[in-house]
Every structure is written in structure tokens, then in C-alpha cells.
Amino acid sequence: MRGTQAPLKFAITSKGDETSNTLTQKIKTYLLDFDLQYDEDTPDLVISVGGDGTLLYAFHRYCRRLDKTAFVGVHTGHLGFYADWVPEEIEKLVIAIAKTPYQVVEYPLLEVIIRYINGGREAKYLALNECTVKSVSGTLVIDVEIRGDLFETFRGDGLCISTPTGSTAYNKALGGAILHPSLEAIQVTEMASINNRVFRTIGSPLVLPAHHTCMLKPVNDVDFQITIDHLSLLHKDVKSIQCRVADEKIRFARFRPFPFWKRVRDSFIAD
Ligand code: NAD
């Protein structure tokens, strides 16, 4: 719960289309009228207006101060998984933000550390949804180590390592299970693995607990196309890609209950 002392500092991230920009202006004016402070650099609360992609963008913009920032999403297009408020509820949301101490729920994140050959600087990323690894050309061939032991040599289109909240995104399309975000875990799913009498992979999604690290190590090719949520980059001379549950968490501001399974049902089953 928030204390009542200092005025709440907020920022708004808009998808950038006309509807989202108009709504952003409206929310900003309302909140300023309530004497809240607009602060793009050090906000306590980030309101994302758009869709899931907008919330992913907002997360990455503020991912260096996750312990001090909470997120809430308003969707201006179809129902979002992370953006659960609709434009018609804006007045209600604004009053809730301005008047009540809000509850914060924390969800696990994925930490990805990419190390390079020749001792280049390692790169550390946090993912809200997932990390995917693909070859730049042809089949991805990569060793998968779990807790320091070789588990398999993967051959196929790629691998996806997802968070529990990301389990309803790309992971789901790959046949992965949906994980409740109270589980501190990551899930490894395959993209079209090659399985025959010569090459063999497990073929099932793997769910790893927080203290188990998944390390991917190149077999031949050392260049990979790696995505962290919506961000896709070509990484050259890769020595290893280390994935595990991050120490950091994302904090969502909750102004009303919206249980995870209801969110899943509303997103995929109910219309
Ligand atoms: P985008 O515009 O291609 O949107 C992808 C879709 O994923 C949108 O409908 C979005 O609402 C939905 N989505 C995002 N996060 C979700 C979540 N946690 N649970 C349920 N649905 C979710 O791309 P974007 O908006 O920049 O989002 C990037 C995400 O797209 C990636 O993190 C990845 O999960 C997802 N993606 C999915 C597939 C697939 O399902 N085959 C392929 C590539 C990327």
C-alpha cells in the first residue's frame, strides 16, 4: 500500500495513435487536477495507454527502477493481457489513483545474460514476456545446459524462454503451459525441433524453478538473432546465453481484483 505523505509522481506512455494520445491527455489533465505530479524520469506509477506492446515498451523504459515504479495498463484496441482497463473506465481509474492507496502485485521476470567470445562486455537484459533465440541462417544448433549439466543439443528453428506472465504470449503459441505468476519459474519451449533417429530433443516444454539456470552454448555458429520481448537484435560472437528467474520483479498497481485465471479466460475464451 502507498503512504499518504508525498504527492504521487506519475508518467504516461502512449501507443502514439490518435485515440491513445487523446486519452493520455485526458488522464494527465485529470491527475494534475488532483494535484498529482507529472514526472517522466522518476515516476511512482506508469500508466500505459495502448496495448500489451505499449506496456512492454513502458517496462523497458523504466526497467532500471522497477523497485520504485508500479505499472497499470489501459487498452485502446482489443483486450490486452497486461492492459486491462478500458477508456470508458478512465474517470474511475483516475479517482482510484488519486484517492486510494493502491495494492501492488509482483510478478517474476526473466534475466538473460549474453556473454561474448574474446571477453567482450557481457549484456544483461530483463524480459517481461520472453527471450527467443534463433539462428541467423539455417537451423539453430545449440547445447542446452541445465544447472551446469548438458541436457541436450537442440536442433530446430529456435528456443523460447518465457516468464509466467509471458506464458500466455509466444510460449502459448509454441504449445507451452500457462503458468500462474505466483510461480517463480521460467519455461523453455521448442520451435520446430528436428527429431529423428540421429537427432533427439526432449520435445516437451520444461519448467525450471528459480534456482535452476538454463545456459545455451553455441555448437558451431556463434551469431544469433535474439529477442527480448519486442526487441530483436543480432548478436555476434556469442559464447553463452544464460537464462534464469531474475532477482527483480515487475510491480503492477491493482485498483480492483483481477485474478490471473480470469484474465486468461477473458483473453482467450470469453468474448
Ligand atoms: P505484436 O504487435 O506482434 O503483438 C503480439 C500479440 O501478443 C498482441 O496481440 C499482444 O496483445 C499479445 N501479447 C503480448 N504479451 C502478451 C501476454 N503476456 N499474454 C498474452 N498476449 C500477449 O507484438 P508486440 O505487441 O510488440 O508484443 C511482442 C510480443 O509478441 C512478444 O513478447 C511475444 O510474446 C509476442 N509474439 C508472439 C508470437 C506468436 O504468438 N506466434 C510471435 C512473435 C511474438
What is the per-residue pLDDT across 133-142, written as a single tens digit (0 to 9) for each?
A: 999 999 999 9
What is the per-residue pLDDT across 38-55, written as a single tens digit (0 to 9) for each?
A: 999 999 999 999 999 999
196 annotated to a ligand binding site: no
Rounded to a whole number of angstroms, the CA Rg of the chain reads 20
Q: Look up the CATH architecture of domain 9-102+255-268.
A: 3-Layer(aba) Sandwich (3.40)
52, 67, 143, 247: the catalytic one is 52
For residue 164, the CA-to-ligand 1 centroid distance in Å is: 14
Establish whether 247 is a catalytic residue: no
**Looking at residue 4, what is its pLDDT?**
54
Residue from 129, 161, 258 to probe ligand 1 pocket by mutation (most atoms less than 8 Å from CB): 129
Q: What is the mean pLDDT of residues 115-132?
A: 94
**Looking at residue 80, what is its pLDDT?**
86
50 annotated to a ligand binding site: no
Choice between 3 and 196, residue whose per-residue pLDDT is larger = 196
Residue among 4, 1, 65, 74 nearest 39 (CA): 65
Record: fold of 109-248: Tumour Suppressor Smad4 (2.60.200)
pTM for this structure?
0.96
**For the chain, domain boundaries:** 9-102+255-268, 109-248
